[in-house]
Structures are given as structure tokens and as C-alpha cells.
Structure 1
Amino acid sequence: MLTHVDDKGVKMVDISEKSEVIRVAEAEGYIKLKRETIELIKENKLEKGNVLTTAQIAGIMAVKKTHELIPLCHPLPITSVNIDFEVFEDKIKCICKVKAKYKTGVEMEALAGVSVALLTIWDMVKSVEKKDGYKETEIYGIKIIKKIKM
């Protein structure tokens, strides 16, 4: 179904009059994997290399490039990015915390960081997960869990 696009078009929100303050956002998300895959990750025995380190770097890169991925996002002077993982028997939780001193929030950056980190995990483990047609593989629960404006 197509929806009508009005004549106004699209525009980036004008933030020029807003003051710069410290902004923090934290997002989380999960990837469900086979137990066998989780063990291979823990033992660092996957063909493509260290899964969590690679996913961490990919997530950080995504935070820094969010404005290039989402059309109307402002480019932000990111001052800090932390991406951490919690490994369970059948899933991995990714947490991305982003900080900037600027005129607009960093929620989209935190969400992009989690999303790309989880996609990177999927890419790095697909040789094991695809054997059963990805029946157990799933990315889910991506959401903002904290937003601070100081």
C-alpha cells in the first residue's frame, strides 16, 4: 500500500537555537543463537575470528556513522561509546551507551550501535547457524533503556 507524500517534503529539525548539554542514551538488544554457537563464540573457535570484539568495533563505527544511515539525523560530536555484551546459554545481550555534548539526543546512535553489533554477530556465526536454516537465530528486543539530559 502506498501512502501519499504531501507537498511539504521532508526537512531536518532546526536545532540552532537549542543549547548544548550532555546527552546520554543507552540501548539494548539480543540475538538468539544455538547453544553450540554460543560455545564456539566463548572458545573463540569461529572461522571469521573474535566475534564479540569485531561486533564491538562494528557497533562503535555505526554510532559514528548514524547520520549517514538515517537521512534526517544530525551529525553529532560523539564523546563516548561503550558497547558491552552479556553472554547467556542461548542468547547474547548487547548494550550500547553513547554520550555527546550537543543540541540533540543520541538515542538513534545508541540504537544503531546495538543493531549493527548484533548484525555483525549474525554475520560472523552464520556458517554454524545456517545449517538448520536459521531456525533458532533471531535478533529481538532492541530498545532504549536509558536517556539522560544534563
Structure 2
Amino acid sequence: MGPEQTPPELTHFRDGLPCMVDVTEKAATTRTATAEGWVRLPPEARAALEAGTNPKGDPLTVARLAGLAGSKRTAELVLLCHPIPVTGADVQVTLEEAGVRIVATVRTTAPTGVEMEALTAVSVAALNVYDMLKAASKALEITGVRLLGKTGGKSSDYRAADREV
């Protein structure tokens, strides 16, 4: 940055200290966000899952419930995230050729978006798949957590370039 340029104003820092952005004056609007993530399975974990012999039980059902709970607790985990009312959430956890795919869609009517809630839902669900399958293999890999799309709010809608939501 040259001497004539001023640094950009940081939204989450004021006077060098972290702060929560004030959204008091923003209108509450309907907002949605969809995120996905994957848990890659080594052969022994896939075999236990497919055969129903996983010693801890059904990881896909547990992960779905964990993702729903995670979406509602995002503000407790993401330090500068606003607590917002999650008015709807859907978490799908499916076994596919590439591994366990997790897709979460979260909805709200609030003055700020739900991207972090969708990403948290996916992340918490993935951690629960790992926890439930770690007895079968420690080589599980959580990967590909990303935002697929969002609607509502001041910024424009977003769709991942390689994905229709």
C-alpha cells in the first residue's frame, strides 16, 4: 500500500479491537444459505457403514441431528457472529461414491445472513460422522466445506460457479 492510500476500514475491528458489527438499523429480510461438505471414507469405514456393523450405531442419522443443532448454536462458536433466529433448517447426510456428503440449507428472517449457520451445520455434521466412524478407521477426511449459495440481504445473491442450488 502506497503512502497516499488509506487502509480499508475493518468491519470487525474498531480502534484495533475486535467488535461485533452493529446491525440494529438494518431491516430484517428473508435470507437463505446452502453449504456442503464431505467426509471421505477409507475402505474399512465404508464397509462398516454399508454393512451396518459400525460399533457406535448409525452415523448418518446422528450427523443429521448434530447439523441441525449446530446451525442453531453458531453464534456460540463463531466469535463475532450475531445470534439470529434460525427459522428453518434442513440437513441431508447421504452415502455417495465419493464418501458421505452433507448439504445444509438454513433460513431466517433477520438483519444479517445465515451463511455461517449453514457452514456450521455442515461442519458439525461432518465432525459427528468422524466421531461415529473413528472406531472403524482414523483415516477419515473432512473436506470440501463450502458455501453453495445464498439469497437475501444487501449483497447480491451468490451461487457457486459449478453448482446449482
Higher helix share: 1
Shorter-chain TM-score above 0.5: yes
Partner of 2:157: none
State the partner residue of 2:25: 17
Determine if the alignment matches structure 1 residue 60 to structure 2 residue 63: no
Query: Cα distance, 1:38 vs. partner?
Result: 2.2
Over 3 Å counting, the alpha-carbon distance change for 1:107 and 1:6 in structure 2 is closer
TM-score by length of 2: 0.80
Aligned to 2:141: 138
Q: CA deviation at 1:90?
A: 4.3
Structure-2 residue corresponding to 1:81: 89
Identity across the alignment (%): 38
- What is the rounded CA distance, in whole Å, between the counterparts of 1:56 and 1:127 in structure 2? 19
Please state how far the C-alpha of 1:96 moved relative to its aligned partner: 0.5
The 8 Å contact of residues 85 and 109 in structure 2, kept in 1 or not, is answered as: yes
State the AA in 1 paired with 2:26: K
Decide whether aligned partners of structure 1 residues 18 and 7 sit closer, same or farther in structure 2, where only a CA change above 3 A counts.
closer
Tell me the TM-score normalised to structure 1 length: 0.87
Which letter does structure 2 place at the counterpart of 1:41? L
Alignment of 1:1-150 (within 5 A): 7-130=15-138, 134=139, 137-149=140-152
* RMSD after superposition: 1.7
5+ residue gaps, structure 1, are none
Contact 2:44 2:137 in 1 (8 A): no
Q: 1:97 to 1:6 in 2, by over 3 A?
A: closer
Moved more, 86-95 or 139-148: 86-95
**4+ runs of 1 displaced by more than 6 Å?**
none
Greater RCO (Cα-Cα under 8 Å, separation 6 or more): 1
The answer (yes or no) to whether the contact 1:31–1:140 under 8 Å persists in 2 is: yes
Q: Are the counterparts in 2 of residues 29 and 95 from structure 1 also a CA contact under 8 Å? A: yes
Output the CA distance in 1 between the equivalents of 2:50 and 2:31. Answer: 34
Q: Point out the more displaced range, 109-118 or 86-95.
A: 86-95
